[in-house]
A and B are shown apart, each in its own frame.
Chain A
Amino acid sequence: MPAFVVAAVVGVLFFLGYRYYSSYLARKVYALDPAFVTPAHEFDDGNDFVPTNKHVLFGHHFTSVAGAAPIVGPAIAVFWGWGPALTWIVLGTIFAAGVHDFGALAVSVRHKAKSIGTLAGDVINGRARMLFLAIIFFLLTLVNAVFAVVIGNLFVAQPGAVIPIVAEIPLAIAIGVYIYRTRSSALIPSIVGVIVLYALILVGNEYPITLDGLADALGVEQTRNVWVVLLFAYTWVASRIPVWVLLQPRDYINSHQLFIALGVIGLGLIIGLNQIQAPAINDVPEGSPSFFPFLFITIACGAISGFHSLVSSGTTSKQLDKETDARYVGYMGAVGEGSLATGAVLAATAGVAASQAEWEALYPDFATASGGAVGNFVAGTAEFANNIGIPLELAGVFAAVVVISFAATTMDTGVRLQRYVIQEIGELIKVRVLARNLTVATTLAVVIPLAMALIPGDGEAGYTFGVLWQLFGTTNQLTAGLALSVIAVWVTRRGRNAVAILVPLVFLLAMTTWALILNLRNFVEDEQWVLAPLDALIFVLALWLMVEAAIALRAAYRERPPVPVDGAGTGEPDAVAQANSGVGTSTAGPIEGPAGSPRR
Chain B
Amino acid sequence: MTSRVILVRGARSAGGGGGCCSGDVRPFDEGGSHRHVPPDDAVGAVYRALRARLPAGVVIEVVSPSNWLWLVPALVSAGRQRGLRGAALRRSVRAGLAVESLIVDGVVVASGELPGPAAAVAAVEAELALR
Contacts and interface: CB of A to CB of B under 8 A. Distances in A.
A491 to B, nearest CB: 22
Interface string B45-72: 1111001000010000111111111101
Contacts of A70: 20
A50 B41 CA distance: 14
A188 B72 CA distance: 12
Interface stretch (A14-22, A28-36, A57-65): A57-65
B44 A47 contact: yes
B51 A185 contact: no
B18 interface: yes
B24 A187 contact: no
Interface string A409-433: 1111110010111011001000000
A421 B99 CA distance: 31
A65 to B, nearest CB: 5
Nearest to A435: B32
A50 B62 contact: yes
Interface string B1-39: 000000100011011111111111111111111101011
A242 B12 contact: yes
B18 A408 contact: yes
Given A56-B61, A185-B97, A186-B97, A69 B31 contact: no
B113 interface: yes
B128 interface: no
A243 B100 contact: no
B80 interface: no
A435 B28 CA distance: 14
A411 B30 CA distance: 24
A47 B38 contact: yes
A183 B19 contact: no
B43 interface: yes
Contact of B30 (A118, A243, A305): A118
Interface residues of A, number: 79
A413 B70 contact: no
A252 interface: yes
A52 B11 contact: no
Contact of B18 (A136, A406, A421, A476): A406
B27 A46 contact: no
A206 interface: no
Contacts of B98: 183-185
B82 interface: no
A413 B20 CA distance: 11
A188 B18 contact: no
Given A46-B48, A410-B21, A600 B26 contact: no
Interface string A497-508: 000000000000
Interface stretch (A310-318, A560-568, A585-593): A310-318
A364 B54 CA distance: 66
A186 B26 contact: no
B94 A67 contact: no
Contacts of A417: 22, 25, 27
Contacts of A410: 17-19, 21-22
A66 B23 CA distance: 8
B94 A188 contact: yes
Contacts of A311: 23-25
A424 B33 contact: no
Nearest to A44: B51
B112 interface: yes
B34 A420 contact: yes
Contacts of B12: 180, 242-244
Contacts of B99: 179, 183-186
A46 B24 contact: no
B23 A307 contact: yes
26 contacts: A46-B44, A56-B70, A59-B70, A66-B19, A68-B18, A69-B20, A115-B28, A116-B27, A184-B112, A185-B95, A186-B97, A243-B14, A258-B19, A307-B22, A307-B25, A310-B27, A314-B25, A406-B19, A409-B18, A411-B18, A413-B18, A413-B23, A414-B21, A414-B22, A420-B34, A436-B33
| Shortest 4 CB-CB contacts between residues of A and residues of B | A67-B19, A46-B47, A64-B23, A251-B16
